[in-house]
Chains A and B, each alone.
Chain A
Amino acid sequence: SDSDSTSGDSEDNTSSSNESEEATAETGETIKIGVLASLTGALESYGDQTKKGFELGIEYATDGTMEVAGKKIEYIFKDTETDPTVARQAAISLLEDEEVDFLVGSSSSGDTLAVTPLAEEYEKIIVVEPAAADSITGSEYNDYVFRTARNSSQDAFAAAAAVAGEGVKIATLAPDYSFGHDGAKAFISAAESLGAELVHEEYADQAATDFTANIQKIIEKKPDYLYVVWAGANTPWNQIVDMKVEDHGIKVTTGVADIATLPTMTALTGMEGFTLYYHTLPDNEVNDWLVEQHKSKYDGAVPDLFTAGGMSAALAIVEALKQTDGDTNTDTLIETMEGMSFETPKGTMTFREEDHQALQEMYSVTLEESDEFDYPVPVLKRALTPEETAPPIMNQ
C-alpha cells in the first residue's frame, strides 16, 4: 500500500543467504517475523541491541542458511519510536501488510502492551523481548504472548538472592513510576521470603536532579542493604557515594544494566549485585559464538545487555519451528512452545507452561575494576539457576 518496504535484511547478511534463496525456490515458502523495537528516541540503544541480537540469533539458529525446515526466514524491523500509537500501527502493518507469522518486541513495556492484544486478535505469537513489566505475562496475559525477556520479578529474585538472608535489614530506592514500583515490590516480597526485613521503601522522581532527601531518609533507617532499582539516564549513583552511604554501614546493591551505564557506576566499584547479561558471564557455546560474531561484525564491539535477549527471541522461534517442522499453525506452535526449552547465550531457557515466561539464568556479580577499561565491570560471583529466580505466576 505505501512505502513500508520489506527490508528483509537477509540479503546483506551473509553470503550463505544467497544459497538459501535457491533453496526456498524449491518449497516457495517463507516464514516472516516482524520485530518491533525503539530504533529512534530515548530507548534507541536498546532497540539497536535487540536488532543486532535478533539478526545474529537467526543466523546462528539456521547455521547461516536463513532457513528452517526448508522454509526461508525473513524478518522485518519496525520502529516503535517508544510511542504506543506508532507501535500499534507498526504491528498492524506487520500483521496485515506483511502477514508475518511472528511478532517480536519491544523495547518499552507500554509499546508492548499496546501490541499484545493484536497478537491475540490475529492469532499470531508475539515473543516479548526485552520489555520487563510483570503485567505482560501477568494481568494482561493472553495465550499468544511468550516472553524471552526476564520480568521485573526475576530481577528481584536475582537481587534478593545476592543479599537477602534471615534478619537482614533492607531498604529500596526506586524511580516513582510503574517500573520502579514493580521492581521494588517484587524485590521486597522476594527478600522477605528469604527472611529479610524491610525497613524502608523510597521512591524518587526519576527526572530529579537531587536525591539528597531520599538518600538521607534511607541513611536514617540504617538498613544493611540498599537495593536500588534504576533505569534511564538520570542516575543517583554519584550522590549515593557523595553522601557516604557506605560509611553508614549500608551496602548498595543493584542490577547492572547496559555497558553505557557502567562508567556512571565507577563510584560503586566493589558493589555486589546482579545482572541479566554481560558478555563475559555466561559460559556456554552460544554465548561464545555471539561474542565472537558480534565483535567481528561490529568493529570489535561486544554484545550488550539486550543483544543476548534479541538473540534468544530468534532462537526460541527457530527452535519452535524446528519442532513443528516448519508448521506455522499458531495452535500447534503454542502447544510446542509451552514448556519448550531452548539453548540461548544465557544457557537453557524454558517457557513456563502457565504464563509463557521464560525461566532463565541470572548472574550474581561484583563490580570490579578492570585493566581493560576505565570503568568497573561485573565479575561473576555465581550464576543463578532458572529455578532460583522463577517468579510467581501472576496471570491467574
Chain B
Amino acid sequence: MDLISTLVINGLATGMLIFLLAAGLTLIFGLMSVLNFAHGGLFIWGAYTGVWSYQLSGSFIIGIIVAIVTGLLLGLITEKLIIRPVYGNHIQQILITLGFMLVLQEFIKVVFGPNQIAVSPPAFLQGSFYVGDVIFIKYRLFIIILGLLVYFVSMFILKRTRIGLIVRAGVMNKEMVQSLGINIRLVFMLVFMVGAALAALSGMLHAPYSGVIYAEMGLEFSILAFIVVVIGGMGSFSGSLFAAILVGIAQAFMAYYVPALSLAVNMLLMTVVLIFRPQGLFKAKG
C-alpha cells in the first residue's frame, strides 16, 4: 500500500511536470495546429535564463519570472519571424521550426557555454518528509500544486472567453475569422506567446527537478510533449493533463513491475491509444 502510494504520488508529480511541458504545446500544436519543433528550444531558453537569474539573484521566484519573460519575448520573435509565414502548412512548419530549434539550441552554448549546469531547488523546497511510511518530496508537491494552478487558470481563460473558439476557428478558416472583424494575427501571436511562456516556465521548473540543465534536453522533452498532446486529444487541456498523469504513473509502475519494458512505455502507451482511440482520449470522434 505504501509502495503504491509512493509510486502514485511520484508518478503524479512527474505527470504534472510533463503536463506543464505539454501545456504550451497544447496551445501551439493542439489549438493552433502548428507543428512547432522549436518548442524544445523555448523550453531550454526558459531553463537557462531562469536558472541563470535564480543563481545570480538567489531568488527562485525571480528565476521563474525571468523564465516567463524570456518565453514571452522569444514567443513573440518566433511567432513573427518563424511561424507567421507558415501557418497552415505543416511541411514548411517542420522545416523552419527545426532550423530554428538548431539555432536556439546552439545559441545556448554561445551564451551559457557548452557545459551542463547543476541546479538545486531553493532551500524552502529542498528535502522530503514522511507521512506514515509514504515519502513526500517537497519540490514535487510544489510541482503538483503549480501544475494544477496552470491547469485551472488556463481552463478558466479558455472557457470564459471566446479565445479558444476564435483560435480554433482561425485555424479552420482564417479568412472567415478576419471577415468577422477579428484580428486573428494578433490573437495567434498572443496565444503563441503564452504557449512559449508556458514552455519556458516548464523548463525552469524542470531544472531543479532533474538537477541539471543542458542544451540537448530540449528536443528530448518536446517529443514527450507531443506524445502527451496526441494521447490526450489535440487541443484539449484536460486531455493533456490526464495523458500527462497517465504517462507519469505508467512510467513509475512500469519501472517497478515490468522494468524490461520501461524504455518503451511512452511509445507503447501511444501506440495502444492511437490504435484504439485515434482521436485521443479526450476528444469526441469527429
Contact = CB atoms under 8 A, between A and B. Distances in A.
B13 A42 contact: no
B114, B211, B251, B263: most-surrounded residue (chain A CB, <10 A) = B211
Contacts, number: 107
B17 A235 contact: no
Interface string A54-92: 000000000000000000000000000000000000000
A4 interface: no
Contacts of A234: 210, 212, 217
11 contacts: A42-B214, A42-B216, A204-B255, A205-B263, A207-B220, A210-B251, A213-B7, A216-B256, A233-B212, A242-B127, A260-B115
Given A235-B211, A242-B128, 4 more contacts: A42-B215, A213-B7, A216-B3, A238-B120
Given A176-B262, A210-B14, A216-B7, A233 B116 contact: yes
Contacts of A216: 3, 6-7, 256
A244 interface: yes
B203 interface: no
A209 B17 contact: yes
Contacts of A205: 251, 255, 262-263
B248 interface: yes
B6, B253, B255: most-surrounded residue (chain A CB, <10 A) = B255
Interface in A182-238: 202-205, 207-214, 216-217, 233-235, 237-238
Nearest to A41: B216
Interface in A19-72: 41-42, 44-45, 48
A369 to B, nearest CB: 15
Interface of B: 3, 6-7, 10-11, 13-14, 17-18, 109, 114-118, 120, 127-128, 135, 137, 206, 209-217, 220, 248, 251-256, 259, 262-263
Given A176-B262, A207-B220, A242-B127, A213 B256 contact: yes
B214 A214 contact: no
A3 B157 CA distance: 56
A261 interface: yes
B7 A45 contact: no
Contacts of B118: 260-264, 266, 375
Contact of B211 (A203, A207, A208, A237): A237
Interface residues of A, number: 37
Nearest to B9: A212
A243 B135 contact: yes
A266 B120 contact: yes
A235 B212 contact: yes
A93 B18 CA distance: 44
A238 B11 contact: no
B214 A233 contact: yes
Contacts of B117: 260, 263
A243 B128 CA distance: 7
Contacts of B255: 204-205, 208, 210-214
A211 B14 CA distance: 10
A152 B220 CA distance: 26
B256 A176 contact: no
Closest 6 CB pairs of A and B: A263-B118, A213-B255, A213-B256, A212-B10, A210-B14, A264-B118
Nearest to B210: A234
B211 A212 contact: no
Nearest to A42: B216
A248 B3 CA distance: 15
Nearest to B7: A213
Contacts of A204: 255, 262
Contacts of A210: 10-11, 13-14, 248, 251-252, 255
A309 to B, nearest CB: 17
A212 to B, nearest CB: 4
